[in-house]
Amino acid sequence: MGRLYSYLQLVRVGWVFLREGVISALPAEELPPSARMVQSLSRHFARSKAKHASRSDRLARAVARLGPSYVKLGQFLATRPDVVGAEMASDLSLLQDQMETFAQDKAEASAAMSIGRPIPEVFSRFDAPIAAASIAQVHPAAVRTDAGDHKVAVKVVRPGIRRRFAQDLQTFYLVSHLVERHVPQARRLKPVEVARILEQTTRIEMDLRLEAAALSELGENTRDDPGFRVPEVDWERTGRDVLTMEWIDGIKMSHVDELRRAGHDLNHLADVLIQSFLRHTLRDGFFHADMHQGNLFVEPDGTIVAVDLGIVGRLGKKERRFLAEILFGFITRDYLRVAEVHFEAGYVPRHHDVRSFAQAIRAIGEPIHGQSAETISMARLLTLLFEITELFEMQTRPELVMLQKTMVVVEGVSRSLNPRFNMWKAAEPVVGEWIRQNLGPARLLSDAREGLGAAFRLAEQAPELAARAERLSRELDEMAENGVRFDAETAEAIGRSEARHGRSGRIALWIAALALVFIGWQLA
């Protein structure tokens, strides 16, 4: 039944896209002739209003008709230009996550159940929602303190969203498997893995305790950072379906004229924003992955406050080091080093020639060095880099793609504040300091400390590892002498499967059984 539901949903999606004119508006340059013919015919089925709308408007209407899960899918794919292409990612990035609010009584009931106490006991006021998105909506509220009522923002998960998303996720997986099976050129992009990441990130986003934890972690990381902070979490009034946090009185960064009238230095705000993002990325390896203008506020003293941490990104120390070396290589025009870093990181398969790859990197770097600094975009540089690596079969790296997409958004916000924004000049204090600390002598000391710590941990585990090795050796000797033995349940399962499958199926099952036995020895 689940698979039938997925196919019916797929038909529904196709029909909505057809009627809203999305299919007829898709880029046709790389489509085969048969697909182009189908696309041409699809124009006759589009609604008359859709025929005169822009592609982004058509897409927005279609996704809104399909429901919250598809809005979330569209927003997620907007962060993956490597999967849907730069044009489609740009269109998807315009999707407004603005849904109809749900009833006040349902919100209060959900919040009370999640907190475990009646609303009047925990809030002195719980007002109607001021904004609703695909997963949750936000209510102004207040809590009683010794100094009087204290205003807070309360985020409540949309009722039934988990069940709806679980159903729609089956359709997403079905499409991913079909694409991976029948479109060989798309396998490099790992569509099933993309669906899995969407599932993971959305499940995290639907548990508001995890968003609260992200706010808390980023708050600790940025406690001493100049000009940037996140709201404080009220843990007493936070649960799986409700998040209570500090109310932010500030101006949205999207209201540039209002910021200017309030006397804020827009050039300074642009510098602080990009420096904060790079500091989070390089120093902490933990960054806000949805830093668009609607999620950024400026307080009266000029401090930038970032809200809505449902989507975050992480980079390991190795990835941060490679990122810094790549950027530094472009700055110094050391294209061979940039290419070598890609090979060392395992981003590009070893069968390619590193010098040929360096030549392709030079094609990106040299035009940039001929431009003035304020016209050079670091985000554009990374975008071009991903386009070049596709020619060399670079496997998709979700964490790097998320970083690149977030950098595009953050740099765009900075340029909206300062059209002559100099990305390199603004980034130098942060990137330069990180490079000096992590790519010079300090790096050797850091690596030595980490290596020494790993050696101590290995020494502590040596007795246990030796015992496991000895036990495995005895079991292998016993297997060589007496053969492999299965328990009755395993043997019966194999017998049932043999009755259902042919010769190839039997071989596969025996291989799987042997693998399970071997894994069992490893875990014993």
Q: CA 323 → CA 206, 320, 382, distances in Å? A: 31, 5, 10
CA 473 – CA 488 distance, rounded (Å) = 25
Where do the H-state alpha helices sit in 312-397? 317-332, 335-344, 354-369, 378-391
217-247 residue pLDDT tens: 999 999 999 999 999 999 999 999 999 999 9
For position 509, what pLDDT does the model report? Answer: 46
Tell me the average pLDDT of the chain: 78
125-165 residue pLDDT tens: 999 999 888 889 999 999 998 888 899 999 999 998 888 88
Beta bridge partners of 162: none
Is it the case that residue 368 has pLDDT exceeding 60? yes
Is it the case that residue 455 has pLDDT exceeding 60? no
- Tokens 């204090």 correspond to 429
Q: What percent of the chain has pLDDT over 90?
A: 26
For position 524, what pLDDT does the model report? Answer: 44
Q: Kindly report each contact of residues 414-421 with a partner whose C-beta sits within 8 Å and lies 24 or more positions away, as own/partner.
A: 414/270, 414/271, 414/273, 414/274, 415/270, 416/253, 416/256, 416/293, 417/253, 417/256, 417/259, 417/266, 417/267, 417/269, 417/270, 417/273, 418/266, 418/267, 418/270, 420/374, 421/267, 421/270, 421/274, 421/374
For position 79, what pLDDT does the model report? Answer: 63
Exposure b/e, 110-133, CB count within 10 A at least 16 = b = bbbebbeeebeebbeebeebeebb
- 290 assigned to active site: yes
Q: Which residue type is seen at 411?
A: E
List the single range of 105-114, 182-191, 206-215, 425-434 with lowest mean pLDDT. Answer: 182-191
Of the candidates 91, 234, 271, 290, the residue annotated as catalytic is 290
Burial label for 497, CB within 10 Å (0-12, 13-18, 19+), is middle
Residue pair 372/350 in contact by the 8 Å Cβ criterion: no
Is it the case that residue 105 has pLDDT exceeding 80? yes
| Residue 5: pLDDT band with limits 50, 70, 90 | low
Q: CA 100 → CA 169, 289, 365, distances in Å? A: 22, 25, 47
For position 508, what pLDDT does the model report? Answer: 45
For position 85, what pLDDT does the model report? Answer: 65
Q: Where are the domains of the chain?
A: 2-96+164-203, 250-439, 484-523
* Sequence-distant (≥ 6) Cβ neighbours of residue 362 within 8 angstroms: 335
Residue 128, Cα to own-chain centre: how many angstroms? 31
Sort residue 116 into left (φ over 0), alpha (ψ -120 to 50) or beta. left
In terms of pLDDT, which residue wins out, 508 or 139? 139
| Residue 493: pLDDT band with limits 50, 70, 90 | low
For position 519, what pLDDT does the model report? Answer: 43
Is it the case that residue 511 has pLDDT exceeding 50? no
Work out the angle at residue 177's Cα, subtended by the Cα atoms of residues 173 and 179, and round it to the nearest 5 degrees: 115
- Please give the average per-residue pLDDT across 320-325, as a whole number: 80
171-208 residue pLDDT tens: 888 888 887 787 776 666 677 877 787 787 788 888 99
In this prediction the pTM is 0.71
In terms of pLDDT, which residue wins out, 33 or 272? 272
For position 12, what pLDDT does the model report? Answer: 80
Residue pair 416/256 in contact by the 8 Å Cβ criterion: yes
Nearest to 180 by CA among 189, 171, 172: 189
Residue pair 235/144 in contact by the 8 Å Cβ criterion: no
For position 454, what pLDDT does the model report? Answer: 56
| Residue 518: pLDDT band with limits 50, 70, 90 | very low
54-99 residue pLDDT tens: 777 777 778 777 777 777 777 777 766 656 666 676 667 666 556 7
